[in-house]
Amino acid sequence: MSQALAEEATIAMINQLYPEAIELFSQSMQWEKNSPFIMMSRGDCRKAMKQYAVAMDDYVKALKMKPQDQSILYRMSSIHDFFAQQLVEVGRYEDALVECNLAVESSPQICEFRMRRADIYLILGKTKEAYDDVQAAHTIDPDSAKISQRLLEFIPGAQLRPLNLPYSSIPPKFNSTVLQPLPVHIKISSDTLPGVKGALGSKVS
């Protein structure tokens, strides 16, 4: 019975019949109370319906059933990242940083979450922390031209702006102001950017 309901729910989810899928997944839990797949799938349906809080509840329950599962952790991170973007939109940068921290904590290997946090660090004037996140993202994905170029923007005197946030949410000072250079003990060199040495030219010392 449980398997049949879960299969029917999955078909409904594929066809984007999310309310029906949620009901079927919930029914199947009466027989299969400890299935992380069913719990996660119900969360996916709720997320698709923009019911983020209850979707997160389902993901948390699924994670308890299957600790450290990367697919569940990624889903949780994506919601924290979404919350961060919403908080940035209304100027709540400190709260957005908390959500970004949770996103990175759950999925430290996802560059997108680190780059978003780097931008929020910049808005909060935490240039060193922003650099650390971009450097970590580059270590994860050294072939990303976007991330490599982002590192170069931390050279003293370069124009440094948040790039991974909606333009309307960026404080006006970032539209024309050059940020303070990094502390002296941080030095960007060609060795910092493996794989792009030949493309850096005179910008890197």
Q: Is the pLDDT of residue 125 over 60?
A: yes
26-30, 35-39, 77-81, 99-103: range with lowest mean pLDDT: 26-30
Domains identified in the chain and CATH numbers: 2-67 (1.25.40.10), 71-203 (1.25.40.10)
Residues 73-95: what's their mean pLDDT?
A: 93
- Give exposure, 146-181, as e/b (b: 16+ Cβ within 10 Å): ebbebbbbbeeeeebbbbbbeeebbeeebeeeebee
In this prediction the pTM is 0.73
What are 99-121's pLDDT values in tens digits? 999 999 999 999 999 999 998 99
* Residue 51 DSSP one-character state: -
Contact yes or no for 151/112 (Cβ under 8 A): no
Contact yes or no for 37/18 (Cβ under 8 A): no
9-13, 24-28, 194-198: range with lowest mean pLDDT: 194-198
Task: Please identify which residue in the block is written with the tokens 């050294």.
Answer: 142
Distances in Å between the Cα of 123 and the Cα atoms of 30, 134, 135, 141, 183 are 48, 15, 18, 24, 17
pLDDT category at 189 given cuts 50, 70, 90 is very low
